[in-house]
Amino acid sequence: MSKVKYRFNTKSLTYEKVKVTFRERFWQITSYLATGLVFATLTIILSREFLPSPTEKKRDREIEALRLQYDLLDKKMGQAEQVLSDLESRDDNIYRAIFESEPLPKTIRSGGSGGSDKYSIFDTYDNSDLLKSSTERMDRITKQIYIQSKSFDEVVNLAKSKEKLMASIPAIMPLNKKDMLHAVTSGFGWRTHPIYKTMEFHPGMDFSAEQGTPIYATGDGIVDRADNLVQGYGNHVVLNHGFGYQTLYGHMSRIAVVAGQKIARGQLIGYVGSTGLSTAPHVHYEVMKNGERVNPINYYYNDLSPEQYQQLIELSKKASQSFD
C-alpha cells in the first residue's frame, strides 16, 4: 500500500491530500533511474580503474612469479660466473703452471656467443633488451663452461704425462758431478771472449775436463743433430727433450750418438774435447726453453744436494776463465 501524503493549507487551516500527477510521477521515476544509472556507471569505471579484475589478478600473480624466477636465475648466473672465474684463475695460475703449460688466451676464454642477429627473435617482445641480455649471458656462461671443460681435459693429459715431463727436463749435469763441482770455468752471462778479447754474451756454462771425459744426456729426448756443421761449436750434439726443452753439448772430441736416436737421461752421448772455437778441453753446455737460451744452473736439481748446488752457484759467479 503506497503512502498517502498530506499538505497543510494555511488558508483553510486543514490538511489536504497531495495529488501527484502522472507527469510528476514519470519524471520522479526517471530521475531515480538516471541517478542510479550514473552511480552504477561511476562504480564500474572506478572499479575497473582501481580494482583489478580476476584475470588481472591472475596475470599480476604470474608476472610476480616470473620476476622472482628471473631474480633467482640472475643470482644463479652470477654465482656460476664467480665459480667459473675462480676455476679459470686456478687453471691458468696453478694447474697449468705446475705442468709448465701456457695459460689459455683471454680471447679464447671470452669468445663471443654469436652475432647480434641471433637474438633478434626477441625484438617483438616487451622487455626485449632484458630477454636479449639474459639469453646472451647464459650462452656466454655455457660456452665458458665448455671451454673450461676442454681445458681440464688438457690438464688431465698433462698430469698423465707428468712422469714423462719430469724425465725429459734437463735436470742433471752433463759430466760426472764429482768432476764438475770444481770445473766451472765460465758461467751464463757477459764475459770477455778468450779469443776475440771482446765482451760477449755467453749463452751457456763451460766445464773443464780431461780430453775424453764422458758426456751424458741431462734428460730423456731425441738427438736433433750430431755433427760439426755449426761454426764455433765443433763436434756437438743437440737433444730435443720435448715440452719446449733442448740442450746443446759442444766441443766434443768424439760423438757417440746419431741424429734421430732416442736417448735416456744419463746415457753417454760423447766425449770431452776442444774442437771448434775452443782453447782447451771442456764441454760447453746450453739449455733452451721454448727456443730461448736460459741459465743452465737453474736445472741442476736432480743429483745435487742443496750444499753442492749452492757451491756450484758461487763457482759460476766467480768463474772468469773461458775456453770458448
Residues 105 and 149 occupy one common structural domain: yes
Residues 284 and 205 occupy one common structural domain: yes
CATH code for position 303: 2.70.70.10
Which contiguous run of DSSP H or E holds residue 19?
none
What mean pLDDT comes out for the span 137-145?
A: 85
Instruction: Quote the percentage of the chain above a pLDDT of 90.
Output: 24
Please check whether residue 42 lies inside any domain of the structure. Answer: no
Please check whether residue 323 lies inside any domain of the structure. Answer: no
Q: Are the C-beta atoms of 91 and 109 separated by less than 8 Å?
A: no
Strands 245-255, 282-289: pairing is antiparallel
Of the candidates 193, 203, 191, the one whose C-alpha atom is nearest the C-alpha of residue 230 is 203
Work out how many domains the chain is built from and give that number.
Answer: 2
pLDDT in tens, 257-313: 999 999 999 999 999 999 998 888 999 999 999 999 998 888 887 666 777 777 777
> Domain range spanning residue 154?
54-160
Considering only residues 130 and 191, tell me which one the structure prediction assigns the higher pLDDT: 130
Q: Are the C-beta atoms of 152 and 91 separated by less than 8 Å?
A: yes
Residues 150 and 173 occupy one common structural domain: no
**What's the pLDDT at 32?**
79
Q: How far is CA 75 from the centre of its chain?
A: 22
Cell of 8: 497543510
Q: What mean pLDDT is reported for the chain? A: 81
Please check whether residue 26 lies inside any domain of the structure. Answer: no
Q: What is the pTM of this model?
A: 0.52
Q: Is the pLDDT of residue 247 over 70?
A: yes
Classify the C-alpha dihedral 197-198-204-205 as positive or negative: positive
What mean pLDDT comes out for the span 178-200?
A: 66
**What's the pLDDT at 193?**
59
Q: Is 154 buried (19+), middle (13-18) or exposed (0-12) by CB count in 10 A? A: middle
